[in-house]
Amino acid sequence: MIRRLLVANRGEIAVRVARSAREMGIEPVAIYSEADAGAYHVAQMTRAVSLGPGAPADTYLSIPRILDAARAAGADAVHPGYGFLSENADFARAVAAAGLVWVGPPPEAIDEMGDKVRARARMVAAGVPVVPGSSGAADGEGALAREAERLGYPILVKASAGGGGKGMARVDSADALPEALAQARRVSAAAFGDETVYLEKLLERPRHVEFQIFGDRSHRVVALGERECSVQRRHQKIVEETPSPALDAALRRRMGEAAAEAGRAIGYVGAGTVEFLLDADRRFYFLEMNTRLQVEHPITEETLGVDLVRAQLEVASGGRLPKSWDGLAPRGHAIELRLYAEDPVTFLPRTGEILVDDEPAGPGVRVDSGIGAGSHVGVEFDPLLAKLVVSASDRGSAIARARRALADWIVLGVETNRRLLAAVLASEDFRSGEYATDLVERLPPLANSEPPPAAWIAAAHELSRPAAEPGAAGPRVGGDPWSAGAGWRPGA
């Protein structure tokens, strides 16, 4: 059994992994860059090791430094979280070569799915439908131009080693293809160290539905239901829900079987996600596979009553999946909202110090957070601050709970995308369940400002109470904080 676990990550996922580890009697160990010494995730663990000075490329992405940290801490296992080195097969091999337990899939599976062109070919061989696209042999500009004509415009140019929308561009005509290819290659080379690109036929207004899979060393792979991920901005998910309102029982079964077969085809072990696009005619196509724990894994946990991180640690220690996982069915409905430090209109990142972080609470409300009052938000890392996860007996109740909890969430000091999340939940498209990946683009423009939520007003009223004389009734001054004379001001 794992005794001491190095969590090779930061932010909310590092905190999330540490919680499950502690419940299992495993000591979690944090790592941090010199500039990140005061980070929230460091304070949540009893032991932490510095990676020294430098940018993320020299710290959280440095395999030698992380292995040195593991040795210094006396760790016997490494959990990569998501992002950073979580899908780096060389890191997985280096961890195993150092005599440590790698909490993730085999390096060969990471290699196979990390290259999108190879992954597509492997899925075709396994009988899993894929989005029509270019062949692996088409790499030069001339070959890709011929493939584009064969597929028919519009098409997508995509980075073979990419993810999160990086290196992706829509192309509507042959004239625009050369520049799109050149730009995609530049972005891919800078972000992933690989300039290989490929083409996919652009499906108009698809839905993005992914399936959680899990495998163990007995070659058993199960599908643990789907997550609807169609609410996106710039190809990055911001709201997820399960079950998907787009699937019926028969389609859910077919997609789940295809996802499990994808995992079996590559000998998958641990937690992974198979992502599909669903077109208007309810045909589904393999998009990609993420060989790691997914950001939105909590909504699966909430509806199935499982702990996916605990299962990762148990399988990495040689355990097998429970037999009961074959027949798991979701109970109720769950929604996740990602809180980003960014302008809700332009999506540009925002920085500063968190002055107040007053999280919502109540039945069916969970917050996975990587921040607290005093946390510094910079531009060096992904702007994801925290995730609000709500669950309820049905979809309508879950939406109502999400709207209430989001309105109760007070974060001061850094601008967030809270207004955008609120607009999504209030939109008729989302509430009807009849939405696609263009939902955010179809929303009415956000106003420059919004009225403060009820919780903010209540707090402001309390702050505006004048100091009462002993024995005095202490009358309020004015009917709202703006007319109070007690020195209260917005922004604390």
For the 4-103 domain, the top CATH level (class) is: alpha beta
Q: Does residue 128 carry a pLDDT above 70?
A: yes
Q: Does residue 136 carry a pLDDT above 90?
A: no
Q: What is the pLDDT of residue 194?
A: 85
Q: What is the pLDDT of residue 450?
A: 52
Handedness of CA 44, 45, 50, 54 (dihedral sign): negative
Q: Per-residue confidence at 454, pLDDT binned at 50, 70, 90? A: low
DSSP state of 326: G
Q: What is the pLDDT of residue 181?
A: 94
Mean pLDDT confidence for 431-453? 83
Residue with tokens 């502690």: 22
Pairing, β 384-392 against β 352-353: unpaired
Closest CA to 315 of 222, 217, 219, 223: 217
Average pLDDT score, the chain: 91
Q: Does residue 8 carry a pLDDT above 90?
A: yes
Inter-residue contact 339 to 418 (CB < 8 Å): yes
Q: How far apart are CA 204 and CA 154, in angstroms?
A: 9
Phi/psi of residue 239, nearest 5 degrees: -135, 135
Q: What is the dihedral of CA 279, 283, 285, 289, to 10 degrees?
A: 90
Q: Per-residue confidence at 188, pLDDT binned at 50, 70, 90? A: confident
Q: Does residue 483 carry a pLDDT above 60?
A: no
Q: How far apart are CA 106 and CA 84, in angstroms?
A: 17
Q: How far apart are CA 374 and CA 22, in angstroms?
A: 25
Q: 358-398, pLDDT tens digit by residue?
A: 999 999 999 999 999 999 999 999 999 999 999 999 999 99
Residue with tokens 């604390």: 492
User: Rounded to 5, what percent of the chain is helix, strand, coil?
Assistant: 35, 25, 40
Mean pLDDT confidence for 193-203? 90
Q: How far apart are CA 450 and CA 423, in angstroms?
A: 11
Q: How far apart are CA 123 and CA 277, in angstroms?
A: 14
Q: Does residue 485 carry a pLDDT above 70?
A: no
Q: Per-residue confidence at 453, pLDDT binned at 50, 70, 90? A: low
Mean pLDDT confidence for 111-134? 91
Q: What is the pLDDT of residue 479?
A: 44
Q: What is the pLDDT of residue 463?
A: 47
Q: What is the 3-state secondary structure (H, E, C) of 174-197?
A: HHHHHHHHHHHHHHHHHHHCCCCE
Q: What is the pLDDT of residue 314?
A: 98
DSSP state of 130: B
Strand order in the sheet with 384-392: 284-290, 270-278, 207-215, 221-233, 236-242, 333-340, 384-392, 365-369
Q: Does residue 71 carry a pLDDT above 50?
A: yes
Q: How far apart are CA 312 and CA 321, in angstroms?
A: 10
Q: Does residue 297 carry a pLDDT above 70?
A: yes
Percent of the chain with pLDDT over 90: 82
CATH superfamily of 133-201: ATP-grasp fold, A domain (3.30.1490.20)
Q: What is the pLDDT of residue 469?
A: 44
Q: 217-242, pLDDT tens digit by residue?
A: 999 999 999 999 999 998 899 999 99
- Does the pTM surpass 0.75? The reply is yes
Q: What is the pLDDT of residue 203?
A: 92
Question: Can you read off the two tokens belonging to residue 351?
Answer: 């920085």
219 by Cβ neighbours in 10 Å (0-12 / 13-18 / 19+) ranks as exposed
What residues does CATH 3.30.470.20 cover in the chain? 207-442
Long-range contacts of 116-121 (CB under 8 A, 24+ apart): 116/158, 116/159, 116/160, 116/161, 116/162, 116/198, 116/288, 117/160, 117/196, 117/198, 119/288, 119/289, 120/198, 120/286
Inter-residue contact 188 to 195 (CB < 8 Å): yes
Q: What is the pLDDT of residue 474?
A: 40
* Residues counted in the chain: 492
Inter-residue contact 93 to 107 (CB < 8 Å): yes
Q: 306-344, pLDDT tens digit by residue?
A: 999 999 999 999 999 999 999 899 999 999 999 999 999
Q: Per-residue confidence at 472, pLDDT binned at 50, 70, 90? A: very low
Q: Does residue 484 carry a pLDDT above 60?
A: no
Q: 397-419, pLDDT tens digit by residue?
A: 999 999 999 999 999 999 999 99
Q: What is the pLDDT of residue 162?
A: 72
For the 207-442 domain, the top CATH level (class) is: alpha beta
Q: Per-residue confidence at 482, pLDDT binned at 50, 70, 90? A: low
What residues does CATH 3.30.1490.20 cover in the chain? 133-201
Percent of the chain with pLDDT over 70: 90
> In this predicted model, which residue has the larger pLDDT, 296 or 160?
296
What residues does CATH 3.40.50.20 cover in the chain? 4-103
404 by Cβ neighbours in 10 Å (0-12 / 13-18 / 19+) ranks as middle
Q: Does residue 24 carry a pLDDT above 60?
A: yes
Q: Per-residue confidence at 478, pLDDT binned at 50, 70, 90? A: very low
Q: What is the pLDDT of residue 129?
A: 93
Q: How far apart are CA 357 and CA 376, in angstroms?
A: 12
Amino acid (1-letter code) at residue 8:
A
